[in-house]
């Protein structure tokens, strides 16, 4: 993909469907004994991976361009399930599939084959599930049947396995009381609990430190509308803030999605923005450097690096440790690729420091990381020359229409 010199940004864009929300709705529909309909704007590779898991669990799934219908009984029909390249799917669905009581294998593709599972599934032993993987990488073998337990669990690496437990434990016999320490990405737990409540599942959250889960609950059938994605919209919002003026439609201002925090950062740097119903309007302004803690929203690092590149001075983002086991080593990938563009990135303990400056022409590589591809595309705004992005098709993981949407607001 070649990004030619972009003079300014102007136009209106529809935000893509949230894969975080969509995959949670798919999980709930899989666990329901009733018919469910899920309405959406678009799909991506990670969502398709979750759909494939549903089919492996005996669900009858009908797909069209804007509606997913899920029916049938939960029953594991395949002992090896391909989770594609989705870290959320391979983590979240492990305890859900373990409800079957059958042995199974979770396999992966692409960069997920290189993302370590070391210590990831150890906490499942408390719930009767054993796991094994060669050299701590997928595929991962599981045995046992999920059962209730009262446990103290550490989720400092990721909250995605915990999300899977929150989906699965309401269906086991007996209640569970979980004491959680070092919980990361609390907004994603809020999103999980919000989706669960829509399907009639009740979980008591005591300040994110204790969760009370009643067993023998039942998922009801609903007709759900998946909200738009703040993660993808963050890149578009940054484009507006650094390059002109845009409107992003179909965004929930009160969303539980962690990456809604991009609004707070844009206000901090001085961008002009306001909401009109479900539309976010962003306009360019003189931008100052910022400091932000991204531990609860690590997916914001790439768009924030793009933003920092256009800010005057040195910006600091906390939470670099959350980036080491993503689609790439995202911290080093950002440093390497933005370095090619003339932007200096350094690390100080758990901080990433970005010095704003002029973007120069270069050939960069996405490292097969969708968010690196999108971040380097945004850097093309007011650059000194064209930017060539190798492996740009990585955007299909989360936002297949990104380049078409981005092109629609670019003025040359």
Q: What is the pLDDT of residues 149-207, one digit of tens each?
A: 999 998 877 889 999 999 999 999 999 999 999 888 899 999 999 999 999 999 999 99
Q: Based on C-alpha coordinates, what's the Rg of the chain?
A: 21
Q: Model confidence over 5-64: pLDDT tens digits?
A: 899 999 999 999 999 999 999 999 999 999 999 999 999 999 999 999 999 999 999 999
Compute the distance between CA of residue 132 and CA of residue 140 in angstroms, rounded to an integer: 6
- The percent of residues in the chain predicted with pLDDT above 70, rounded, is 99
Q: Is the pLDDT of residue 283 over 90?
A: yes
Half-sphere exposure of 339 (CA within 13 A, CB side): 9
Q: How confident is the model at residue 326 (pLDDT cuts 50, 70, 90)?
A: low
**Domains, the chain, ranges and CATH?**
2-16+228-411 (3.65.10.10), 19-225 (3.65.10.10)
In sequence order, what are the residues at sequence separation of 6 or more whose Cβ sits closer than 8 angstroms to the Cβ of residue 135?
A: none
Do 237 and 287 touch, CB atoms closer than 8 A?
A: no
Q: Which of 46, 229, 296, 299 is catalytic?
A: 299
44 closest CA partner among 1, 90, 84:
84
pLDDT of res. 221: 97
Mean pLDDT (whole number) for 287-304: 95
Burial pattern 362-388, b for ≥16 Cβ within 10 A else e, equals bebbbbbbbbbbbbbbbbbbbbeeebe
- The verdict on whether 264 is a catalytic residue reads no
């Amino acid at each position: 993909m070649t990004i030619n010199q972009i003079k300014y940004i102007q136009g209106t864009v529809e935000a893509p469907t949230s894969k975080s929300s969509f995959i949670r709705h798919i999980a709930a529909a899989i666990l329901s004994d009733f018919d469910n309909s899920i309405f959406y704007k678009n799909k991506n590779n990670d969502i398709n991976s979750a759909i494939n898991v549903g089919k492996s669990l005996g669900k009858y799934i009908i797909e069209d361009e804007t509606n997913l219908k899920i029916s049938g009984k939960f029953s594991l029909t395949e002992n090896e399930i391909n989770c594609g390249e989705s870290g959320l799917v391979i983590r979240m669905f492990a305890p859900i599939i373990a409800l079957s009581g059958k042995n199974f294998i979770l396999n992966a593709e692409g960069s997920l084959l290189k993302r370590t599972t070391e210590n990831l599934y150890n906490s499942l032993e408390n719930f009767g599930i054993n796991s094994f993987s060669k050299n701590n990488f997928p595929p991962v073998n599981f045995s046992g049947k999920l059962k209730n337990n009262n446990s103290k669990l550490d989720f400092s690496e990721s909250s995605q396995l915990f999300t899977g437990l929150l989906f699965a434990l309401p269906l086991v016999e007996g209640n569970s009381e979980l004491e959680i320490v070092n919980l990361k990405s609390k907004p994603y737990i809020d999103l999980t609990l919000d989706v669960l409540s829509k399907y009639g599942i009740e979980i008591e959250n005591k300040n994110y430190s204790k969760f009370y889960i009643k067993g023998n609950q039942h998922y009801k059938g609903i007709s759900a509308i998946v909200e738009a994605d703040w993660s993808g919209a963050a890149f578009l919002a940054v484009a507006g803030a650094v390059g002109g003026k845009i409107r992003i439609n179909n965004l929930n201002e009160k969303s539980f999605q962690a990456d809604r925090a991009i609004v707070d950062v844009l206000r901090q740097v001085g961008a002009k923005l306001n909401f009109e119903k479900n539309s976010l309007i962003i306009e360019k302004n003189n931008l100052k450097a910022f400091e932000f803690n991204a531990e609860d929203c690590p997916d914001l690092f790439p768009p924030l690096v793009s933003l920092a590149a256009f800010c005057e001075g040195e910006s600091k983002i906390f939470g670099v440790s959350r980036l080491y086991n993503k689609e790439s080593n995202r911290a080093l990938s950002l440093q390497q690729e933005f370095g090619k563009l003339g932007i200096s990135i350094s690390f100080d303990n758990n901080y990433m420091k970005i010095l704003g400056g002029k973007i120069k022409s270069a050939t960069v590589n996405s490292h097969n990381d969708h968010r690196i591809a999108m971040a380097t595309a945004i850097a093309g705004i007011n650059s000194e020359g064209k930017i060539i992005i190798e492996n740009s098709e990585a955007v299909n993981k989360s936002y297949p229409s990104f380049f078409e949407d981005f092109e629609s607001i670019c003025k040359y």
